[in-house]
Chain A
């Protein structure tokens, strides 16, 4: 079509015709509830995860709303101190263990790993279904703990408070974390084996999409980190239930050991949360700037670098907990070291954008928001890795703001970028362009307003988790709560327009963004077995400069939601400015 006519380089196979969409696909081949609950199709399991984590996101969001609302007055606006403890713990536990950790691997990973590497399914489809059930059982315990009155320990569950003193539902909460951890291990194991063993012919490691690389690195952490927190919270549970324990200071046990073991997982866990997001950003930025990724190898290996170095710096959570100066020095150095692979990614993304034909589609707005917010979040992390500044900033709102910049500004935005990028593939429907762009903008603005004031009050010394604060901090807290309301509105919008798109959205073509990945080479939504025949890969993952997909065929024209400049004239300019070699 037009791109093939404009382009005058090496000849590709012609743009494939639109695959017929009338055939039964994974959504319509069976409508019964039973077929969903017993499915071993990775795509349906991805949807099951999508529905469940959305639910937990809403509940965790309500808890966050309560926390913010309470903080508009210096002595608590709506809750007792005890209820406040339970609200922020509910927010932390739900968002971390039941939203952030399973979000991308569970939903987008399950759905797209086999599609992107040209496989029929994940290596262990039954294990995959089991992982969802295990996750839901864990979640039931977690929700039970919260509904039965909540947990008041904070999500970190530090003993001896959690094991001896807390008068709340620590045990069901701990069980929830323990059980859902195994679901995370199952997903990680499945994805790792799939990437090793199930790649389509020609899909070499050097041609793997960067989303796959990032999920591979994530899975490594899930496999090696999660069992450690599992045994740790198991010991905590025993200590609480039987009154005998390994962290119990009254018999010579060491609570600091709990912190070491807990953070040995829980620090790498933040990379479980952010790494898949980084993978999504690599996909989206290349597609909507119509350029090959800058520094493929560097971006791929930096994912592995983050996974490995991420295991070695857990004790920076304990700089003021009484660890030795020498180990603090070492952990400070290692914490700074992990900023290097993260910065490599940001620089490569920026270089990818340089002179690209950028179009501001919704996924791209989210992705650009990610780059900005993640950079701020990452840089403020260095303040906390530095020993001197950390003593001042430790356990203040500065940490809260830093963490939310990375996790919400980073990860949640990346998740939304991925969801909007792949929504047409998952559902076969296009969503409202205008509303989705509006939602992206509202979320970014609301986010800034929520968390920038928290940097300020944190720097001035407001401790996290305290329900009371001096009156001079009130204005910042009100700003933050106002921002949270805007953010909340921004989160509600996708719930409406994405749901509406299922019923009223225009039918999505197979490749609406004219993207290069294998997942776009099959119908939207995909048929049950993903591909008509096993695809053969001949190209790298981002050959936007020469306009070829991974099967070496010319890219189709983008869906007309994309503005004229990006898909037409400017597209050609970028092509002539690049000197990228054709692979295969």
Chain B
């Protein structure tokens, strides 16, 4: 790479580090705007149907597993804290601290996905699925006995799987970015002058966290959870 006049962290096409860092930050914020609109389409569609079919949506929501969701919410919120602590470590030049906080964040995010996996397995087992033939079990029987439209119950399940699925993919991408940061730290590329790299990844991680904070009540808390006992 071309020799830079300031420090090793400066890329050749920037005048100084401040310009470079503020560009990276602005770029990430703009990307987050894109993400908000990406999920916005889903949230908008969800809102329409929830308003049209409140009974079916509340009913289907009561079959969502609140226990898993509660644990997952705690995990993600804690991971946002450790991610922010990683920024602090980077600013202080505490390489050991960067490792600790990043790996902790990674572990919390990975635990989220593992629990989500268990939850999906549970849903599959109980036939809480949107397909024409796979939909069945208690959720179907209950809907029929209450005189609800099973099609609209399945519509809720479509949202449940699409929204949590896309969110899960985002967590996966975030985990990849965190691993990349760990690697950068190992290579010694995260000196205090370059802490904004950690900050930029953390912005993304927080957004994914915030999206979950919206998904959780919309999907899990819409219904009263009284139709059956888990």
Contact = CB atoms under 8 A, between A and B. Distances in A.
Contacts of A123: 13, 23, 27
Interface size class for chain B?
A: 35 or more
A121 B13 contact: yes
A253 B152 CA distance: 8
Interface string B1-35: 00000000000111100010011001100110111
Given A193-B23, A243-B131, A251 B33 contact: no
Contacts of A125: 13
B201 to A, nearest CB: 15
Interface string A192-231: 1100111000000000000000000000000111111011
A198 B34 contact: no
B23 A244 contact: no
Contacts, number: 105
A120 B13 contact: yes
Contacts of A226: 34
A243 B37 contact: no
B41 A227 contact: yes
Interface string A276-294: 0000000000000000000
A242 B131 CA distance: 8
A125 B1 CA distance: 14
A257 B45 contact: yes
A252 B19 contact: no
A250 interface: yes
A261 interface: yes
Contacts of A120: 12-13
A125 B24 CA distance: 12
A13 interface: no
Contacts of B42: 231, 235
A255 to B, nearest CB: 12
A244 B152 contact: no
A257 B38 contact: no
B155 interface: yes
A227 B34 contact: yes
Contacts of A238: 158, 162
B31 A189 contact: yes
Given A123-B27, A231-B42, A261-B44, A246 B162 contact: yes
A232 B41 CA distance: 7
A185 interface: yes
Contact of B34 (A185, A190, A243): A185
A246 B27 contact: no
Contacts of B23: 123-124, 193, 196-198
B49 to A, nearest CB: 8
Given A120-B12, A231-B42, A261-B44, A224 B155 contact: no
A238 B45 CA distance: 15
B41 A261 contact: yes
A189 B37 CA distance: 14
Contact of A252 (B14, B40, B149): B149
B217 interface: no
A226 B27 CA distance: 16
A254 interface: yes
A246 B159 contact: yes
A119 B13 CA distance: 8
Contacts of B157: 244
A246 B34 CA distance: 22
Nearest to B159: A246
B53 interface: yes
B30 A189 contact: yes
A198 B19 contact: yes
Given A121-B13, A231-B41, A252 B155 contact: yes
Interface string B142-160: 0000000101101101110
A189 B34 contact: yes
B149 A193 contact: no
A581 B180 CA distance: 54
Interface string B132-143: 100000000000
Given A193-B30, A226-B34, A227-B34, A252 B152 contact: yes
A363 interface: no
Contacts of A227: 34-35, 37-38, 40-41
Contacts of A198: 13-14, 19, 23
B30 A223 contact: yes
Interface in B66-124: none
Given A198-B19, A228-B37, 7 more contacts: A120-B12, A189-B27, A193-B26, A223-B37, A238-B158, A245-B158, A254-B49
Nearest 3 pairs of A and B residues by beta carbon: A251-B151, A227-B38, A231-B41
Interface of A: 119-121, 123-125, 127, 185, 189-190, 192-193, 196-198, 223-228, 230-232, 234-235, 238, 242-246, 250-254, 257, 261, 264, 534
Interface of B: 12-15, 19, 22-23, 26-27, 30-31, 33-35, 37-42, 44-45, 48-49, 52-53, 56, 130-132, 149, 151-152, 154-155, 157-159, 162, 166
